[in-house]
C-alpha cells in the first residue's frame, strides 16, 4: 500500500468574469470548518508558493487570477444566491475574505444558472439577484439566455480581455457603506470627501477615503510624482514606489476604522482597501499597443491590487470611481472639474465606462446604484484535484 494516498476530486467550474478568473464552488463540496476550507482552497490555487508562480495549482500568479468563489442558494428575501469571494495570496497561506471581486461578480449569475441554483426564462434576459456576502450588499446581474442556457458568446468587447463575449449588465445597489454597516462606517468613514493623511516616511498625502463597492483610497497621480498614464512595467518594478503605496494604503485603512494597526493591514488584510491614483486626461498607449486618446476619456485611473498595479481595473474600483465622480469634493470629481453621473476612464488595458445614480439627502450623499457592463465565460468544468492528507 502506497504511503502517499490518492488525490481528492472536488466539483468546480473555472470561470472568467470581467478581467479576472477564478475557481467557483458550491459550499456542500467544501469543508464546513472555515480553517479546513481555506486550507483546501489554498491547495487548489497553489498557495503559498515561494516561487511566486502557483505552478502546482489553478492560480495564475497574479491578483486577477488567484481567486475563489463560493455560491449558494439564498434564504434572504429578494435574493436568489449568496456570493462569497476569497482573494488568495500567492506567497502566503492566506485567503482574504474582506471584500468583493467586482469582475468575478459577472460570472456569479452564469454559474448559478449552470449549477441549477436559480430558475430562468428560456430566452431573453435572466435577472439574478445576488447577495454579496463579503460586504453585505445586493447586486443584480442581467444574464442573456438562449434555448434555456446562458448565452456566453457574443460581440461585447472588454478592454483587458482578448476575445469578445456576451454582455452582462451589473447593477451594484446602494454600494456605499451606511452608518449601520458593520465595517468602515459611512461611505466617507471620516465624514470628509478629502482628508490629509499623515504617512510616516511619505509625508502628508491628500486622499479620499471611501467605502463604495469595496473600501478604497484615492490619491492624485501628481501628488506622488506620477501622471496616471503608467502601465504595469512602470510601477511594479519600483520597490520604493510600491512601498509608498502600501504605506498610504495601510495608514488609510486605520483612518477608515478597518484595522487597529498598519501591521495587520499589511499582513492580514491585503485585499482591501484598494488604493488608486488619478490624472487629468492624456493620450497614452495601452498594454496591447492600442492608442487611448485624451479626448475619448474623462480621467486617467490606475489601481493597485495585492501590492501590484492591476493590469486593467478592478470591478469594485470602478464602482467606487463612479460613485466618487458623482459626489462633489472628492479627489476624482476635483480632477474631473465637476461631478459626472457617468464617466469613461482610461486604465492600463484601455477604457471602462460606469455610471452612478447619486443624490444628496439630509444625512449626506447617497449612491443608489452603480451600473456597468462586463462579460463572463466558463473555461473548464468538472473537478479540481488535490492530494489527500
pLDDT digits (tens, 9 = 90+) for 308-341: 999 999 999 999 999 999 999 999 999 999 999 9
**Does 270 have pLDDT greater than 90?**
yes
Shared-domain flag, residues 169 and 249: no
Instruction: Say which range, 15-24, 241-250, 357-366, has the weakest mean pLDDT.
Output: 357-366
Residues whose CB falls within 8 Å of the CB of residue 242, separated by 6 or more in sequence, listed in order = 235, 236, 304, 307, 308
Taking the C-alpha atoms of residue 74 and residue 118, their distance in angstroms, rounded to an integer, is 10
What's the chain's average pLDDT? 97
Question: For position 76, which CATH number holds?
Answer: 3.10.310.10
pLDDT digits (tens, 9 = 90+) for 26-54: 999 999 999 999 999 999 999 999 999 99
Residue 190 lies inside a defined structural domain of this protein: no
**Does 219 have pLDDT greater than 70?**
yes
Residue 21 lies inside a defined structural domain of this protein: yes
Shared-domain flag, residues 202 and 60: no
Shared-domain flag, residues 346 and 216: yes
pLDDT digits (tens, 9 = 90+) for 280-295: 999 999 999 999 999 9
- Who has greater pLDDT, 348 or 363? 348
Please tell me the pTM assigned to this model: 0.96
Residue 246 lies inside a defined structural domain of this protein: yes
Predicted local confidence at residue 221, as pLDDT: 99
**Does 4 have pLDDT greater than 90?**
no
Residue 140 lies inside a defined structural domain of this protein: yes
Residue 371 lies inside a defined structural domain of this protein: no
Shared-domain flag, residues 173 and 212: no
Shared-domain flag, residues 161 and 234: no
Q: Is 201 helix (H, G, I), strand (E, B) or coil?
A: coil
168: left (phi over 0), alpha (psi -120 to 50) or beta: beta
pLDDT digits (tens, 9 = 90+) for 163-192: 999 999 999 999 997 544 445 568 999 999
**Does 103 have pLDDT greater than 90?**
yes
Residue 2 lies inside a defined structural domain of this protein: no
The C-alpha cell that represents 239 in the structure block:
520597490
Shared-domain flag, residues 118 and 258: no
Shared-domain flag, residues 238 and 107: no
Predicted local confidence at residue 178, as pLDDT: 57
Taking the C-alpha atoms of residue 221 and residue 344, their distance in angstroms, rounded to an integer, is 18
Shared-domain flag, residues 267 and 142: no
Shared-domain flag, residues 99 and 222: no
Tell me the average pLDDT across 149-168.
Answer: 99
Taking the C-alpha atoms of residue 277 and residue 241, their distance in angstroms, rounded to an integer, is 13
Instruction: Give CA separation, 97 vs 56, 70, 88, 176, 309, in Å.
Output: 23, 11, 9, 18, 20
Residue 277 lies inside a defined structural domain of this protein: yes
Shared-domain flag, residues 246 and 111: no
Predicted local confidence at residue 179, as pLDDT: 44
Residues whose CB falls within 8 Å of the CB of residue 240, separated by 6 or more in sequence, listed in order = none
Helix/strand number for the chain, H first, E second: 7, 21
Residue 269 lies inside a defined structural domain of this protein: yes
Shared-domain flag, residues 118 and 251: no
Shared-domain flag, residues 36 and 171: yes
Q: How many structural domains is the chain composed of?
A: 2
- Domain extent, residue 96, equals 7-179+376-387
Amino acid at each position: 500500500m502506497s504511503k502517499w494516498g490518492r488525490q481528492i476530486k472536488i466539483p468546480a467550474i473555472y470561470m472568467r468574469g470581467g478581467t479576472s478568473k477564478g475557481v467557483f464552488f458550491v459550499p456542500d463540496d467544501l469543508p464546513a470548518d472555515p480553517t479546513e476550507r481555506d486550507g483546501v482552497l489554498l491547495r487548489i490555487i497553489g498557495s503559498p508558493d515561494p516561487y511566486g508562480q502557483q505552478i502546482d495549482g489553478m492560480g495564475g500568479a497574479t491578483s486577477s487570477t488567484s481567486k475563489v468563489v463560493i455560491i449558494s442558494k439564498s434564504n434572504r428575501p429578494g435574493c436568489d444566491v449568496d456570493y462569497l469571494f476569497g482573494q488568495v495570496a500567492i506567497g502566503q497561506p492566506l485567503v482574504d475574505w474582506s471584500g468583493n471581486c467586482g469582475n468575478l461578480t459577472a460570472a456569479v449569475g452564469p454559474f448559478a444558472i449552470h449549477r441549477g441554483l436559480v430558475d430562468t426564462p428560456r430566452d431573453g434576459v435572466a435577472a439574478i439577484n445576488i447577495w454579496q456576502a463579503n460586504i453585505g450588499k445586493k447586486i443584480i446581474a442581467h444574464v442573456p439566455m438562449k434555448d434555456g442556457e446562458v448565452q456566453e458568446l457574443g460581440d461585447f468587447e472588454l478592454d483587458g480581455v482578448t476575445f469578445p463575449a456576451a454582455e452582462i449588465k451589473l447593477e451594484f445597489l446602494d454600494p456605499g457603506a451606511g452608518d449601520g454597516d458593520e465595517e468602515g462606517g459611512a461611505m466617507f468613514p471620516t465624514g470628509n470627501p478629502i482628508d490629509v493623511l499623515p504617512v510616516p516616511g511619505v509625508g502628508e498625502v491628500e486622499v479620499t477615503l471611501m467605502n463604495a463597492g469595496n473600501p478604497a483610497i484615492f490619491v492624485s497621480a501628481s501628488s506622488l510624482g506620477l501622471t496616471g498614464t503608467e502601465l504595469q512595467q512602470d510601477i511594479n518594478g519600483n520597490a520604493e514606489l510600491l512601498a509608498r503605496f502600501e504605506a498610504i494604503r495601510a495608514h488609510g485603512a486605520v483612518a477608515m476604522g478597518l484595522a487597529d494597526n498598519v501591521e495587520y493591514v499589511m499582513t492580514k488584510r491585503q485585499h482591501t482597501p484598494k488604493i488608486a491614483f488619478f490624472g487629468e486626461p492624456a493620450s497614452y498607449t495601452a498594454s496591447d499597443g492600442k492608442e487611448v486618446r485624451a479626448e475619448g476619456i474623462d480621467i486617467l485611473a490606475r489601481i493597485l491590487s495585492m501590492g501590484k498595479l492591476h493590469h486593467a481595473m478592478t470591478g469594485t474600483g470602478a464602482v467606487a470611481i463612479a460613485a466618487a465622480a458623482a459626489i462633489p469634493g472628492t479627489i476624482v470629481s476635483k480632477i474631473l472639474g465637476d461631478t459626472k453621473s457617468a464617466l469613461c476612464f482610461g486604465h492600463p488595458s484601455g477604457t471602462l465606462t460606469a455610471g452612478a445614480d447619486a443624490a444628496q439627502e439630509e444625512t449626506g450623499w447617497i449612491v443608489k446604484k452603480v451600473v456597468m457592463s462586463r462579460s463572463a465565460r466558463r473555461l473548464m468544468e468538472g473537478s479540481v484535484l488535490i492530494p489527500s492528507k
